[in-house]
Amino acid sequence: MASSDGKNLNAYLVGGAVRDAALGLPVADRDWVVVGSTPEQMTELGFLPVGNDFPVFIERQSGEEYALARTERKTARGYQGFQFNTSQEITLQEDLARRDITINAMAQDRAGNLIDPFNGMADLQQGVIRHVSDAFLEDPVRVLRVARFAARFKFNVAPETQQLMAAMVDNGEVDALVAERVWAEMRKALDTDAPQIFFQTLRDCGALVRILPEIDALFGIPQTATYHPEIDTGVHTMMVIEQAAALTKDPMVRFAALVHDLGKAVTPEEILPSHKGHERAGLPIIKQLCSRLRVPKKFLSLALAVAEYHLHMHKMAELKPTTVLKMLENTRALNDDERTRQIADACIADARGRTGFEDRDYPQAELFVKFQQFAKQVDSAAIAAQYADGVAIKNAVHQARAAAIAKVKATLE
């Protein structure tokens, strides 16, 4: 089979590779659009076909993706309801016109010349996310993508694009989004430096209540009396996930920070000042959200642990050794250093997610880590050798771990 060579084609570098290079960012993937060719010609040149819905090929030498220039026509509701045209007559500009936002609708020829029919470079320089055309209305995934790119680059969404996003909420187009795609975009947003912008952008256009009603329900719920009751829980949640992103790149911690207070939306009004009991009230809501979006179990597990025990963390120095040990056991942190750190970081983010508390010292988290370190060092095998009865072994190990935690507590007094 002939070795493929993209240099023999009328091909243009497009999309993210052009955008990221202009921003001075590393270019992870280089995608090309081919004008004036056919699937048969691509195969004859040695390219490997991989596209199912429309012709996409891999250049064997570089591994880069080459797609035939195409247009698309809406045929049904949702992001899969499209019919594609990949005839040889499709121009580069027609291909770029079908793209979602202007900063993704730029191309570059092999000589490095920019093709920018929709002024994407100007929007890139001004920090604006703007739709290419009213065809934006046809694909609900674009609402999620705009929010994600706004979070990734910390760009503003153009008012006219916000209007189109709101129209897609009003006409029910966003209701056609499938769970896997919502989670895929949300998961990418959690990797950005400002994931809170993703959720705030969705709320600004009215999509958050349709896509993530559990998060939207937090807005308008008063915060606790202890910390800044003048802000509501939705605002606090956005600040918490912002703090989590500043602390760690771990997406599981960021997700746990996002959902840690979901129980406050269903806490009875008469106990709102303290929100006692909201931790457990949030557990079924977190499970519901994760089930609907098919969130991986490891994300769910950590989120449940943080939601149930974040108030324990705030009182860490005051807890009895047996209570600390129970927390370590129930959160599966006792013998897991990584999980201990994840819980600690999520709780630091919670403590700092309030105006004026962003740089707050939070020794409780490091105390929790220290308790875990001492408790896990108990030699359970040596203790087990002293007893013949399983129940006695379990009780002795438990007592030894509680004693180790008590020894740490004694140094604080």
Write the pLDDT tens digit of every residue in 348-394.
Answer: 999 999 888 888 899 999 999 999 999 999 998 899 888 888 888 89
Closest by CA position to 117, among listed 104, 135, 136 = 104
Strand partners, 68: 34
Between CA 94 and CA 246 the distance in angstroms is 41
Eight-class DSSP state of 274: T
Write the pLDDT tens digit of every residue in 182-201.
Answer: 999 999 999 999 999 999 99
Write the pLDDT tens digit of every residue in 272-318.
Answer: 444 456 678 899 999 999 999 999 999 999 999 999 999 999 999 99
Hey, what domains does the chain have and what are their CATH numbers? 1-126 (3.30.460.10), 212-410 (1.10.3210)
Q: How many CB atoms lie within 10 A of CB 335?
A: 13
| The dihedral formed by the CA atoms of 229, 235, 241 and 246, expressed in degrees to the nearest 10 | -80
SS3 content of the chain, % helix, strand, coil (to 5): 55, 10, 35
Phi, psi of 114 (to 5 degrees): -85, 135
Paired tokens of 395: 């009780």
Q: Quote the Cα angle for 337-339-343, to 5°.
A: 120
Share of the chain above pLDDT 70, in %: 90
Contact partners, residue 271, CB within 8 Å, separation at least 6: 277
Between CA 17 and CA 411 the distance in angstroms is 56
pLDDT of residue 228: 54
pLDDT band at 224 (very low <50, low <70, confident <90, very high): low
pLDDT of residue 133: 93
Eight-class DSSP state of 99: S
Phi, psi of 333 (to 5 degrees): -100, -15
Between CA 146 and CA 272 the distance in angstroms is 35
pLDDT of residue 270: 42
Closest by CA position to 256, among listed 272, 231, 237 = 237
pLDDT of residue 280: 80
Q: How many CB atoms lie within 10 A of CB 62?
A: 13
Share of the chain above pLDDT 90, in %: 72
DSSP 18-62: HHHHHTT------EEEE-S--HHHHHHTTPEE--SSS-EEE-TTT
Residue 114 has pLDDT above 60, yes or no: yes
Between CA 352 and CA 323 the distance in angstroms is 24
> Please, what is the average pLDDT of the chain?
90
